[in-house]
C-alpha cells in the first residue's frame, strides 16, 4: 500500500520530545483496514516514509482514531524540517 498526503509537523513535549505529522482521516481509514495484517503490537504499523529525497523506516502510531507519523531526527535534519512546517509524505506499508 502506498499513500501520499501532506500535513503539519507538530511536537509532543515529553521526557524526550517527538515530532509527528497526523495522518488525514481518509488515509487513516485505509491504514486501519490493512493494519491487522501488519501490526506488531499496540497497533503500531511498520512502514517506510519518504519526505523530499530522504526515506526512512519507522512505524505509524495509532492516535485518536487515526495514526501519526513519527519524524526521526535523521529525516528532519536531512530535509530541514521544523515544527509548524507543512510537508508532503509518501508512506509505503508492505502487506
pTM of the model: 0.90
Greater pLDDT, 17 or 62: 62
The distance in angstroms from the start CA to the end CA of the chain is 7
Query: Grid coordinates standing for 40?
Result: 506488531
Distances (CA, A) of 95 to 34, 35, 37, 53: 7, 9, 6, 24
Which spans in the chain are helix H? 25-38, 73-78
| Domain CATH code at residue 87 | 2.40.30.100
Of 82, 54, 84, 66, nearest to 27 by C-alpha is 66
pLDDT score at 16? 74
pLDDT tens sequence across 45-62: 999 999 999 999 999 999
pLDDT at 17 over 80: no
pLDDT at 41 over 90: no
Residue 37 banded pLDDT, cuts 50, 70, 90: very high
Structural domain containing residue 63: 2-92
pLDDT tens sequence across 64-92: 999 999 999 999 999 999 999 999 999 99
Q: How many domains does the chain have?
A: 1
pLDDT at 10 over 90: yes
Amino acid at each position: 500500500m502506498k499513500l501520499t498526503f501532506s500535513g503539519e509537523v507538530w511536537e509532543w513535549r515529553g521526557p524526550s520530545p517527538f515530532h509527528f505529522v497526523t495522518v488525514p482521516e481518509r488515509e487513516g481509514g485505509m491504514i486501519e483496514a490493512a493494519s491487522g495484517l501488519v501490526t506488531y503490537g499496540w497497533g503500531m504499523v511498520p512502514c517506510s516514509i519518504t519526505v523530499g529525497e530522504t526515506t526512512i523506516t519507522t512505524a505509524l502510531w495509532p492516535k485518536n482514531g487515526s495514526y501519526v507519523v513519527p519524524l526521526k531526527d535523521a529525516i528532519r535534519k536531512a530535509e530541514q524540517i521544523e515544527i509548524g512546517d507543512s510537508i508532503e509524505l509518501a508512506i509505503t506499508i508492505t502487506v
